[in-house]
A and B are shown apart, each in its own frame.
Chain A
Amino acid sequence: MDIKLSNRSDVPIYEQLKNEIIRLIMTGALRPGDPLLSMRKLAKELSISIITTKRAYQDLEAAGYVYSVVGKGTYVSEQNNENRREQLLIEVEKKLEELLSTAKKIDLSTEELVEMMKVMEEDQ
């Protein structure tokens, strides 16, 4: 699993970890049925707390991305990734609409918005 976490980001580590695993599932790096590293091994590999990996795994399970088998481990769900991608896209579109209408109020051009996003991405 190729996971990158930033200690300097304002996004909490468990949230970052959750997003990274979703990214791996969405891009197909993790396939349905693939096992995830155990919470304890992952905590060691990433030098983070066990409770942090535990929380990320619990959130992923609640959202249906993974499932766990007691005594065995955590696996990627057999899910319809197309559907999930669709849902995430709708979410992005909704947020973009909001963003555009807010930007309009202060006469911010699309180019300026894109520029701001690029700067933010570099900062993260």
Chain B
Amino acid sequence: MDAVTVKGLDKNMGRFRLKDVNLNIRKGYITGLIGENGSGKSTLIHHMLALKKQDGGRISILDKDLEMEREELLNRIGLVFAEDRFPQNISPKRLNGLLTIYYNNWHADTFFAYLERFNVDAISKVKFLSTGEKVKLSIAIALSHEAELLILDEPTSNLDPTFRMELLDILQTLMIDEDVTILFSTHITTDLEKVADYIVMIDDGEVLFDMDKDVLFESYRKVKGDRQIVDDAGELLIGTTINALGFEAMTKEPQALDELYGRKVLIENLTIDEMMYFIKKGKRGVDNG
């Protein structure tokens, strides 16, 4: 079952375009959306909320067509953006009044409980809150209207590590309910390495992969070794860097390398950051440094 289905999404924005994006966000799981700044993460999310009009393709959310049922769907989606989208001259307390009208299932008690837990002053005007506090306010709202789908666009960039851990814990608590789905875009990939179930990588407007996280870490490994091996093993290596001490690359064939070269290579786990680095590098070709 999918919470979001994107089919053949195209959008030309001049210098940048989304190219035939096909994507399924599985219901009941946390999906991490990764990619460098400018890779198209936010553009994709804006389309998922019908904030932008596409040139081609279809998006359905929670089994409904986004264009046809946008109003209802926005009620069922909890949104957290890194940038500030609130009216500046009112307090969270007054905001609560507006949200009661906007959301069908608004829970004021939950909202104020989160504000207190997050240490966000409910009385001071939004414009006097710090960037981090505004993100916390936005998270409190997203968690207070029985959203079935949470879309978080770079939520953790402005948060300190302690609160980031707390947020991950809150998200995992929500996931105990099998009907909740989370889409989490971030460039702080350590957050995702822990809790994400699926990882989608987007680069230059294209989906590079969409994989089960455990399978991803099993299939992509880091390999180091003697520089003599590089020519011979060329086809098994991605994004190879050669220096005076040897080479470093990524491989999708760790088993084959181990069988071929045994002790001459060292195969290690990769982080998501390293994965992004090698994939980008692989696209540019071998660097003989």
Contact = CB atoms under 8 A, between A and B. Distances in A.
A85 interface: no
Nearest to B172: A44
A50 B30 contact: yes
Contacts of B214: 12-14, 49, 51-52, 55
Contacts of A49: 30, 194-197, 213-214
Interface stretch (A35-43, A88-96, A99-107): A35-43
A43 B269 contact: no
Contacts of B198: 51
Interface in B204-242: 212-214, 217-218
B176 A41 contact: yes
Contacts, number: 47
A47 to B, nearest CB: 6
Nearest to A49: B197
B175 A40 contact: yes
Contacts of B197: 49-51
Nearest to A8: B269
Contact of B172 (A13, A43, A51, A52): A43
Interface string A13-44: 11000000000000000000000001011011
Given A12-B214, A51-B214, A44 B194 contact: no
Contacts of A12: 214, 217-218
B173 interface: yes
A57 to B, nearest CB: 13
Nearest to A38: B176
A10 interface: yes
Contacts of A50: 28-30, 175, 197
A35 to B, nearest CB: 15
A48 interface: yes
**Interface centre among A10, A12, A49, A55, by most B CB within 10 Å?**
A49
Interface of A: 10, 12-14, 38, 40-41, 43-44, 47-52, 55
